[in-house]
Amino acid sequence: MKSKKIVILTGAGISAESGIETFRAAGGLWENHRVEDVATPEGFAKDPELVHRFYNLRRAALKTVKPNAAHVALAKLEDGLKQNGGQLTLVTQNVDDLHERGGTKEVIHMHGILTSMLCGTCEHRWEYLEDASPHLSCPKCYVKNTSRPDIVWFGEMPYAMHVIEERLSDCDLFVSIGTSGAVYPAAGFVQMASSIGKATLELNLERSQGSHFFDESRLGAAGTLVPQWVDEVLKV
Ligand code: APR
């Protein structure tokens, strides 16, 4: 096995074949809302009802979708690498839970997750699967009116950056799957990895914005490309 320690970054493209629309596709998730209104702390402060409604719809939609072949293949990769003394670090920008439902055990949700709520007062996080409203109280500090979706909004610091940077500096290979490379800091991981001599691979439907930074780009649907690539890695 050539690569034993692999860091993977996934984006909306890996969930597209499960039926979750990507962000930047025409008719994507932001279609009826300005990003500023539903995905910034300022938007939440201005209209918490609207923001909760927006994420309630997305949380409810999770019940109608299933992981696809790409999610399942990455779970197989996690097991396969572990059995060979290696390690998969799966970092996702996605706020859906399809990697977990596809079987991956350790997932870093750098942009948060729809199935969790965050207390704006004591920063407690808890699993939350139903519809939320601004009146929801925190189960730890009991303060009302400050609970918010556990989503990293524009202008906020993504989660677990120090862990991600550590894993990037310790890996053999960095792979980006289904992301347009438009949003930093995730879009900069390829430069971070290649500047310290790591091999880099992109699997995407089309060339991403940072495509030229990758050693190799394979273009096509994640549901096809990812299982093929995982078989290659586990066979060698
Ligand atoms: N297989 C592989 N790639 C695909 C597929 C597919 N079936 N369908 C679409 N793609 C590719 C698109 O070509 C595009 O390059 O996935 C990418 C999706 O890009 P975006 O919609 O920009 O999503 P993403 O990169 O995850 O967005 C990053 O931006 O809005 C913020 O916080 C939000 O996490 C999100 C971040």
Q: What's the number of domains the chain is made of?
A: 2
| Closest residue CA from atom 17 of ligand 1 | 179
Mean per-residue pLDDT for 43-55?
Answer: 95
Three-class HEC string of 38-95: HCCHHHHHHCHHHHHHHHHHHHHHHHHCCCCHHHHHHHHHHHHHHHCCCEEEEEECCC
Indicate whether residue 18 lines ligand 1 (CB < 6 A). Answer: no
Atom 7 (ligand 1) nearest CA = 221
What is the best residue among 10, 17, 21, 24 to mutate for testing ligand 1's pocket, by most ligand atoms within 8 Å of CB?
Answer: 24
- According to DSSP, the residues that pair with 55 across neighbouring strands are none
Per-residue pLDDT tens digits for 178-227: 999 999 999 999 999 999 999 999 999 999 999 999 999 999 999 999 99
Looking at residue 30, its pLDDT comes to: 63
Q: Reduce the DSSP state of residue 152 to 3 states and report it.
A: coil
Residue 199 to residue 177: CA distance in whole angstroms: 15
- Does residue 28 carry a pLDDT above 60? no
86 and 117 part of one domain = no
Domain encompassing residue 210: 5-19+66-111+158-235
Domain limit, last residue, from 151, 174, 200: 151
Mutating to test ligand 1, I would choose from 183, 190, 228 the residue with most ligand atoms within 8 A of its C-beta, which is 183
The per-residue pLDDT for 23 is 79
156 lines ligand 1 (CB under 6 A): no
β pairing state of 173-177 and 125-127 = unpaired
In short, whether 183's Cβ falls inside 6 Å of ligand 1 is yes
Predicted confidence (pLDDT) at residue 29 exceeds the cutoff of 80? no
Q: CATH number for the domain including 40? A: 3.30.1600.10
> How confident is residue 77, by pLDDT bands cut at 50, 70 and 90?
very high
Q: What is the pTM of this model?
A: 0.96
CATH code of residue 79: 3.40.50.1220
Asked if the model's pLDDT at residue 126 lies above 80, the reply is yes
